[in-house]
């Protein structure tokens, strides 16, 4: 956002000073154009180059959440609108700066204990209020704690917050210095905010960050595995009781933290000898304690592997428990097989399309023609494209939610069936029936079975939790799952054959293999259930997130993510068979296994411009067959069809890559918005970027 807005009017406010600037746009000091006695405000303006509907919705999400939160310690939103093409919202002005400003002024010295507890109490009250409404901040840090004219702390910046039951899998978003261990794995809960508040408490009481490193992933490693230096080793004046409270809130396992934020704050106040009545307190004059000797951090006992990477060892026992040992030597990276020779890395770019042996020709495009309503991931079957719709507005009307069937060659609408809720994933088609999951993201779900030729309803079944993932169909049986349950239904009549409840949240789509349904949870456990009866057949716990189960030469292997690589575990006993180093962050929320080969994308940084790579890995050995470099981050797990890997990226491209050699076959842009995972079948490729696009594949 340029300075062209300065001294201009936006809505009811004249922008008199720019207070800050970022990638999203700018924040201005605003004054009411007519009512001069109105207090000044902060006006947050979106960069006009970011104008897709998805970006607008994301920008206004903060205003919508703040509007729900009325609390004296939460920044209040006053207005939100789009004025002459500029999206903006207006919030109260925090005239006394941020906690980050005060920490910088402190220059490494601790805050006075009572001042630190006052700030932590006010922020804790705000967080508890948000948590009571099932809203998680997930980016708590000193820069997002502001102070008003009365010097009260205000919790701000809910731009990436999430509301429980309104989201599926959560991206790894936040500020690494203050992120909870589980947040680096894409897991989030109210106790993640508690850990972040404890990081702030540590900094206030010691003048030191909990962990520091040049690489954000090294910081992540420390959050996950390294114990914090005790507070009293830095600031000996801190009471032991205070130290124990903060360390408990910093527990690596979130179950070991306090039950909620309020309990954490009460424990802090009791340890400090203060009243547990957490009413507003008169702020003290802000001063810096300069009488504390700062002790440098001692060297850690952890071993550093090659290139400075910490490489933990997986020590898995057969009783389903695990422990983490740090070896004196790093775990070796998998090596290329003699058959394939040295592993090579190839850059995937549009220039490679000149030698393409795969060609995509655009056939047609189709829009929903409804405001804020978009197509979800499509499915292709027998030359027809099946796709559902969803809306990003709560003010939907009849017709916003549909399942459509279109002719793949012409785009002609053959039938449309109205459903009661949004469709967020691809339908499944089997034996002339279309199975589609629908959901209200904050409530229940419903699966429909429709005649693939006519769109007539055959049966429907409701569930207590949202159904956000695609159904799976095998041998006349439909498998669907929610956060805490797996349902197995008869494909013809929808009758429930069996169902199981899962205490831990289901992490990845169930895998159907050799008469067993494998279910992975966010706590790193994998369960094997009999496909016919649902009876428990096997289970084990492991380190990291389990993304898929696949068939290997000598049995079934569970593939998960640990530290900076994938590992393959023997399902029968949990023994780790191999470990293959990849980049530091998995892309696309999953991986694909086809013909004993794993295809997975990962990248080495948080931004979309970070290096993105696609790996082909042998499931039997963990050896990397090839690595291809992409220009942008993968949106979803790759699609494999006729020995070609198709992957869509955030930059709006679809790449087709030879599955055997990793060579680029073709690359094309499908638009400026994030595309869905492509559907590939019957000589067609379909992808949605809000609108639906179809291509002929030759």
Tell me which residues are annotated as active site: 139
Listed in sequence order, the residues at least 6 apart from 395 whose beta carbon sits closer than 8 Å to its beta carbon are none
Rounded to 5°, angle at Cα 636 from 633 and 639? 115
Listed in sequence order, the residues at least 6 apart from 259 whose beta carbon sits closer than 8 Å to its beta carbon are none
Contact in structure between 128 and 261 (CB atoms under 8 Å) = yes
What SS3 string covers 277-320?
CCCCCCCCCCCCCCCCCCCCCCCCCCCCCHHHCCCCEEEECCCC
Contact in structure between 53 and 44 (CB atoms under 8 Å) = no
Contact in structure between 316 and 574 (CB atoms under 8 Å) = yes
Give all strands of the β-sheet with 516-520 in edge-to-edge order. Answer: 511-513, 516-520, 525-530, 536-541
CA distance linking residue 565 with residue 554, whole number of Å = 22
Contact in structure between 437 and 425 (CB atoms under 8 Å) = yes
Listed in sequence order, the residues at least 6 apart from 621 whose beta carbon sits closer than 8 Å to its beta carbon are 334, 337, 578
**CB count, 10 Å around CB of 258?**
19
Dig out the tokens for 580 from the structure: 């293959």
DSSP H helical segments within 169-215, as ranges?
Answer: 190-206
205 three-state secondary structure: helix
CA distance linking residue 407 with residue 180, whole number of Å = 48
Nearest C-alpha neighbor of 485 from the set 519, 454, 451: 519
CA distance linking residue 152 with residue 134, whole number of Å = 24
Backbone angles phi, psi at 57, to 5 degrees: -60, -40
Contact in structure between 360 and 347 (CB atoms under 8 Å) = no
Going by their DSSP bridges, the two strands 41-46 and 25-32 should be labelled as antiparallel
């Amino acid at each position: 956002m340029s300075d062209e807005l300065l001294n201009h009017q936006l809505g009811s406010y004249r922008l008199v000073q720019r207070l800050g600037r970022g990638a999203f746009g700018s924040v201005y000091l605003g004054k009411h154009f007519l009512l001069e006695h109105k207090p000044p405000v902060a006006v947050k303006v979106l960069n006009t180059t970011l104008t897709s509907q998805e970006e607008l919705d994301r920008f206004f999400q903060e205003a919508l959440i703040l509007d729900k939160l009325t609390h004296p310690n939460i920044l209040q939103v006053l207005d939100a609108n789009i004025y002459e093409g500029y999206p903006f919202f207006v919030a109260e002005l925090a005239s006394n700066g941020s906690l980050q400003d005060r920490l910088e002024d402190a220059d490494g010295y601790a805050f006075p204990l009572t001042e630190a507890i006052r700030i932590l109490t006010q922020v804790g009250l705000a967080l508890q209020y948000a948590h009571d409404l099932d809203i998680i901040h997930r980016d708590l840090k000193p820069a997002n704690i502001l102070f008003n004219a009365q010097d009260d702390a205000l919790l701000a910046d809910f731009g990436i917050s999430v509301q429980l039951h309104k989201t599926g899998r959560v991206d790894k978003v936040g500020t690494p210095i203050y992120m909870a261990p589980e947040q680096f794995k894409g897991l989030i809960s109210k106790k993640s905010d508690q850990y972040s508040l404890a990081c702030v408490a540590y900094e206030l009481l010691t003048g030191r960050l909990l962990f520091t490193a040049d690489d954000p992933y090294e910081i992540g490693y420390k959050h996950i595995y390294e114990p914090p230096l005790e507070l009293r080793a830095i600031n000996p004046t801190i009471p032991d009781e205070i130290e124990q409270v903060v360390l408990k809130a910093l527990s690596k396992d979130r179950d070991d933290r306090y039950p909620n934020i309020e309990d954490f704050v009460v424990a802090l106040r009791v340890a400090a000898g203060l009243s547990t009545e957490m009413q507003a307190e008169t702020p003290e004059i802000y001063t810096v304690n300069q009488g504390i000797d700062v002790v440098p951090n001692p060297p850690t006992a952890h071993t550093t592997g090659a290139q400075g990477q910490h490489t933990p060892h997986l020590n898995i026992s057969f009783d389903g428990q695990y422990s983490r040992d740090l070896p004196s030597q790093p775990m070796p990276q998998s090596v290329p097989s003699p058959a394939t020779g040295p592993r090579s890395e190839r850059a995937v770019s549009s220039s490679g399309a000149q030698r393409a042996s795969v060609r995509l020709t655009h056939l047609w495009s189709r829009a929903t023609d409804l405001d804020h309503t978009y197509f979800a991931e499509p499915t292709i079957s027998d030359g027809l494209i099946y796709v559902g719709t969803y809306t990003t507005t709560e003010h939907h009307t009849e017709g916003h939610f549909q399942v459509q069937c279109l002719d793949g060659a012409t785009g002609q609408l053959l039938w449309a069936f109205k459903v009661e809720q949004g469709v967020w994933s691809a339908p499944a088609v089997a034996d002339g029936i279309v199975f589609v999951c629908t959901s209200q993201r904050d409530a229940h779900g419903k699966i429909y079975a429709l005649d693939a030729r006519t769109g007539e309803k055959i049966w429907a079944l409701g569930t207590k939790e949202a159904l956000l993932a695609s159904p799976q169909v095998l041998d006349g049986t439909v498998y669907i799952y929610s956060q805490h349950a797996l349902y197995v239904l008869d494909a013809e009549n929808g009758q429930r054959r069996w169902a199981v409840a899962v205490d831990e949240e289901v992490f990845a789509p169930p895998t159907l293999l050799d008469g067993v349904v494998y279910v992975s949870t966010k706590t790193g456990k994998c369960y094997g259930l009999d496909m016919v009866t649902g009876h428990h057949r096997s289970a084990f716990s492991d380190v990291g997130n389990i993304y898929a189960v696949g068939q290997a030469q000598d049995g079934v292997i569970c593939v998960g993510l640990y530290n900076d690589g994938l590992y393959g575990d023997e399902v029968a006993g949990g023994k780790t068979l191999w470990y293959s180093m990849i980049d530091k962050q998995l892309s696309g929320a999953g991986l694909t296994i086809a013909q004993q080969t794993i295809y997975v994308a990962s990248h080495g940084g948080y931004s979309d411009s970070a290096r993105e790579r696609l790996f082909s890995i042998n499931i039997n050995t963990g050896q990397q067959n090839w690595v291809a470099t992409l220009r942008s981050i993968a949106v979803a797990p790759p699609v494999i069809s006729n020995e070609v890997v198709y992957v869509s990226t955030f930059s709006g491209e679809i790449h087709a890559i030879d599955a055997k050699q990793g060579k680029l076959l073709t690359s094309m842009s499908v638009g400026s918005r994030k595309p869905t995972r492509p559907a590939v079948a019957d000589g067609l490729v379909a992808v949605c970027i809000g609108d639906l696009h179809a291509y002929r594949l030759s």
